[in-house]
Structure 1
């Protein structure tokens, strides 16, 4: 505990090998009661460091909230030197808490049998979604619990057109909602999978308006926008990504600082976050209300239907903005 008299767990050393929520929340409570908690993170840090916004000093407030009062060290268990440090920490600890997949720490000598052999008095807690039974290897995620318990059935399911041929027919859409005094919507239908390179190009070309798109990003970030005809820095814009793999992809490595320099901030919303639900509500409206016909026979037909649905959405946004301006 910070300040005041020592807490009831003062002097207790806790080795925290847990991640995300359940384990970190448990060790947070121990830290609040005065224990010395050493949080061991992988080389990339706990996943929740990237769950932003909200953010404070460049770190997710979600991470800060459930990891307060702890010390932290980054160790790569695949490196023998780092694994040795982790084993030494567990040997000295009074309490070890982990939430790896069952058996996941055995290869590093950090499972209960290995730790208790060198530290007989240790309190060793393993946290898993489904205990040590037949489902022990199933991750304890919210969607898994909903599916297994049957709760997910309460949300209903999408109606499927009978005998609808779906082979070789797929259209994905890159889209952005523009807010402010002149709200609008931009989108780009594409056949097949959307990758990080396409996303970066969309952000640079369609949102930032860079001539040449991502290829001109470095030039613009260096402050040479005067050399780019027809382009100058506009008002800041925030881009929210709901795809973790795109957010951490190599295509964006080193590009976030460049994007920030031209007024584009990137954020990632984890699945099932309230903010992401609000954003997805707009897309669901486009998908299920403005795109009622669901039996197109070609990719071109699907693309045209998607464009028509998005145009309806854009017209609705623009009309709403006009009404607000007239009312004011």
Structure 2
């Protein structure tokens, strides 16, 4: 009997999933046709010492990367990546502190172009679904911006995650930074280099 009682809920969940998938596909088609601006948004943190990757050193010598304690010296970035439309675009802001919902709202307000509707895809992180964000929705809607929340635990559906991977893995050649200011400058330059490469693809 319990299985029969659960069945309508399961069917309803499937229908919601199908509708969400159809809506996402329709949104992406409009983005490719430049009828909307479709951004993928998320945040990323950077420690003074980045994870080590591949490197070179003289034969018989080990390459050492100095370790810097991250306490109070992390840099956080919020970024929005638009892969479709007339040209790929990357918008970002970098902060030497923890990000807040106010930072998210301020950043979202910079994304609409005013020329076409703007849809922002993001996950259900606390600073994305906070009361402050919900209170800002009417003013964001008036700017032409709508939010599209991803299912839980689905980072692979957010295209900006691949951008973060390239920036962390390739655009920060120095793997350790002695000062917070040095890390802040390096992260900004890494995002700028990635954006310049996007611009060259136009």
TM range, smaller chain = 0.5 to 0.7
How many pairs were matched up? 158
More RCO (CA 8 Å, sep 6+): 2
- Matches of 2:160 and 2:153 in 1, distance apart? 12
CA offset digits 1:163-217 (Å, max 9, x no partner) = 333232111001111342133211110111111111001111x2136xxxxxxxx
Asked if 1:170 corresponds to 2:74, the answer is yes
| Aligned partners of 2:75 and 2:183 also within 8 Å | yes
> Which residues of structure 2 form unaligned runs of 5+?
24-50, 54-64
Asked if 1:275 corresponds to 2:168, the answer is no
| Aligned partners of 1:208 and 1:264 also within 8 Å | yes
- Matches of 1:260 and 1:306 in 2, distance apart? 31
| RMSD over aligned Cα atoms | 3.2
Matches within 5 A, 1:214-225: none
Question: Counterpart in 2 of 1:255?
Answer: 136
> Do the aligned partners of residues 300 and 267 (structure 1) sit closer, same or farther apart at CA in structure 2, a change above 3 Å counting?
same
> Which residues of structure 1 form unaligned runs of 5+?
1-8, 15-26, 33-38, 40-45, 57-157, 210-232, 322-328
> Do the aligned partners of residues 55 and 191 (structure 1) sit closer, same or farther apart at CA in structure 2, a change above 3 Å counting?
farther
Matches within 5 A, 1:311-326: 311-321=192-202
| Aligned partners of 2:76 and 2:95 also within 8 Å | yes
Asked if 1:180 corresponds to 2:85, the answer is yes
Residue 159 of structure 1 is aligned with which of 41, 52, 56? Answer: 52
Question: Counterpart in 1 of 2:7?
Answer: 28
> Do the aligned partners of residues 55 and 199 (structure 1) sit closer, same or farther apart at CA in structure 2, a change above 3 Å counting?
farther
- Matches of 1:266 and 1:176 in 2, distance apart? 12
Runs of 4+ in 1 over 4 A off after TM superposition: 29-32
Residue 145 of structure 2 is aligned with which of 251, 254, 264? Answer: 264
Residue 178 of structure 2 is aligned with which of 281, 286, 297? Answer: 297
> Do the aligned partners of residues 313 and 246 (structure 1) sit closer, same or farther apart at CA in structure 2, a change above 3 Å counting?
same
Q: TM-score, normalised by structure 2?
A: 0.65
Q: TM-score, normalised by structure 1?
A: 0.42
